A and B are shown apart, each in its own frame.
Chain A
Amino acid sequence: MDLAAAKVIGAGLAAIGVGVAAQGVGNVFGSFLQGALRNPAAADGQQGRLFIGFAAAELLGLIAFAVAMIILYAV
């Protein structure tokens, strides 16, 4: 396999990580909604934690994207 083909395949494989991070972000907001609908009075106080969880889950997807970009353009 030559380098160009391997690069494109590698970038595609790295994109899987972005999809998995999407699941993670969905899980964060879904779980928050589940909890918030059961106890709406406590929901507003947890928004900071919601966004911390969102940021942590999103960061991993963005790192996967950065890896794909590095493979495509910098290797």
Chain B
Amino acid sequence: MAAESKIDPMHQFQIDALSGGALDGTPFIFTNSALWMLIVLGAILLFMWGGMKRELVPGRWQAAVEMLTGFASGLAIGNIGPEGKKYVPWIFTVFTFILFSNFMGMMPFGIFEKAHPFTVTSQFSVTGVLAIISFSIVLIVGFWKHGFHFFSLFVPHGTPALLLPLIVPIEMISFLVRPFSLALRLFVAMIAGHILVDVFGYFIVNGINAGTPMGYFVSAISFVFIAGVNALELLVCAIQAYVFALLTSLYINDAVHLH
């Protein structure tokens, strides 16, 4: 191979058509993004199915599943209150899907040809849709429960009348950027981590290809660093899923209780 390969960290986010489109003329294109979304779905189904035998004394698997469901419902009920039980399905869905797709994106399947994992949540369209659904739930619940009284969300308690022309636009903007910030946070965190890992992966390969003592030294340093970054990325995967679910439940709490 070439002595030095060009560092191209954005290539891993490219969406390729696996079938359909130009390949065989059908208008429906099945992409690697869709494939990995199905794989994530399969992993979630497998995990949940294995733990839903409803044994009286839970085994390890059932205990793990109960921990996940208990975590999601604790998040919803702890932040929204007793009414939060209604919103557990969406909180659980969003948490589990993001957690599993983040983790599937970190899997080291790339050592096999053509099996490079695709991080579903590294596409703004995917995280954007999740955020828009969360925001729609907030809007629908808010207007359903409170009608036009929902707009009092923009007026915090005890605001002096003099400050209203300043506070209301600020609150309105901070409300309206919520879906955007929710989606952007997850998507950019995933992109940034994968670019970092990818760039240092190229450093390892290029250092070994260079064949000089300095090249081997750089490769060794990069290898140690990449192991640490991968551990950090696993933490970030879990934290981002948690933050998304937490903020969703907080926003729903705003809609249910109006401050």
Contact = CB atoms under 8 A, between A and B. Distances in A.
Interface string B217-259: 0000000000000000000000100110011001000000000
B35 interface: no
A48 B246 contact: yes
Contacts of B93: none
Contacts of B239: 51, 54
Contacts of B39: none
A59 B192 CA distance: 12
Contact of B185 (A48, A58, A69): A58
Interface string B174-198: 0000000100110011011000000
A12 B249 CA distance: 36
Interface residues of B, number: 16
Given A48-B79, A65-B192, A59 B242 contact: no
Given A51-B239, A51-B242, A52-B246, A58 B189 contact: yes
Nearest to A64: B188
B64 interface: no
B170 interface: no
A51 B181 CA distance: 15
A75 to B, nearest CB: 15
Contacts of A55: 185, 243, 246-247
Contact of B184 (A51, A63, A73): A63
Contacts of B3: none
A62 interface: yes
B247 A52 contact: yes
Contacts of A71: none
A59 to B, nearest CB: 5
A20 interface: no
A58 to B, nearest CB: 7
Given A48-B79, A65-B192, A73-B10, A59 B184 contact: yes
B241 to A, nearest CB: 11
B78 interface: yes
Given A59-B185, A63-B184, A65-B188, A51 B79 contact: no
B174 to A, nearest CB: 11
Interface string B147-166: 00000000000000000000
A65 B185 CA distance: 11
Nearest to A48: B246
Give the 5 A-B residue pairs with the shortest CB-CB distance, closest first: A62-B188, A55-B243, A59-B185, A66-B188, A65-B192
